[in-house]
Structure 1
Amino acid sequence: MTKPLTRRSLFAPTLSLFASTSTLLCCALPALLVTIGAGAVMAGIASNVPGYIWLTEQKVPLFIISGILLSLAVFFRWRSRYAPCPIDPDAARACNRMRRVSGIILWVSVAIYLIGGFFAFFAADLLL
């Protein structure tokens, strides 16, 4: 028997969104800014955002941790795919809406992670 969908089941997708966003900031954002000719903007970000350089230096552990969090989020989403919603119509609508929102958050996180991973590890070899 599956457990009902709760706020706790949204924790993993939301956490994975923040983790994958950090991979996007560390790797895809610099490549995008330099590609469109905004290197000065990138230099401004690097000098004015505290911890940004450290984040880019730690890209391998960042991607490993983000990948683990995304994997956990996908697992929890898969595990709760047949979780029942309440019988009350208002609660059922809220449950279905939360299920859709958590799915959107999860797949946006996966897309951000893949984009960041491409720019962090493959773009320099393929594009230069």
Structure 2
Amino acid sequence: MRLFAREGLAPTVALFASTSTLLCCALPALLIAFGAGAVMAGLTANVPGLIWLTERKTALFLVSGALLVLAGYMRWRSRNAPCPIDPAQARACTRMRKIGGVILWIAVGAYLVGGFFAFFAADLLL
């Protein structure tokens, strides 16, 4: 558990934060673009948190961006940290570092897609 907290917790938290940017901004735009306005209306009626996130998208993106920067800094800071000598723990350490990196890059991708739809898509596509 301690290894996960050091190598995987920050990227995972950043992933959840950046996924919320997709929910607030990219999902509604995607549904409307595919002509699924009724689905979007049903979602907003049954998931009131979706509207709350959309109304506070600037704060959401600031917090998500800060979490991504923090996760990237923590990852950069521990890049040269030694893994344990025990072979099984060393394998777990390197595996968690790779998984943490993949999670962090997925989070950055989700953040960028959400940011595009939140702030630029309406101006570019309409």
Q: In which range does the TM-score fall when normalised by the shorter chain?
A: over 0.9
Distance in structure 2 (CA, Å) of the matches to 1:41 and 1:74: 36
SS at match of 1:83: coil
How big is each residue's C-alpha offset from its partner over 1:100-127, in whole Å with a ceiling of 9 and x where there is no partner? 1111110000000000000000000000
Distance in structure 2 (CA, Å) of the matches to 1:84 and 1:52: 42
> Aligned ranges for residues 1-128 of structure 1 at < 5 Å?
6-9=3-6, 10-128=8-126
Count of residue pairs brought into register by the alignment: 124
Q: Percent identity?
A: 69
- TM-score of the aligned structures, taking structure 1 as reference length: 0.93
Question: Counterpart amino acid of 1:77?
Answer: R
Which ranges in structure 2 are unaligned for 5 or more consecutive residues?
none
The structure that is helix-richer by fraction is: 2
Choose 31-40 or 7-16, whichever is displaced more. Answer: 7-16
Question: Offset at 1:36?
Answer: 1.2
Distance in structure 2 (CA, Å) of the matches to 1:111 and 1:27: 14
SS at match of 1:60: helix
Question: Offset at 1:12?
Answer: 1.3
Question: Counterpart amino acid of 1:123?
Answer: A
Distance in structure 2 (CA, Å) of the matches to 1:91 and 1:8: 15
Distance in structure 2 (CA, Å) of the matches to 1:102 and 1:59: 26
Question: Offset at 1:73?
Answer: 0.5
Question: Offset at 1:65?
Answer: 0.5
Distance in structure 2 (CA, Å) of the matches to 1:116 and 1:89: 40
Question: Counterpart amino acid of 1:52?
Answer: L
Superposed CA RMSD: 1.1
Which ranges in structure 1 are unaligned for 5 or more consecutive residues?
none
Question: Offset at 1:7?
Answer: 2.3
Question: Offset at 1:88?
Answer: 1.1
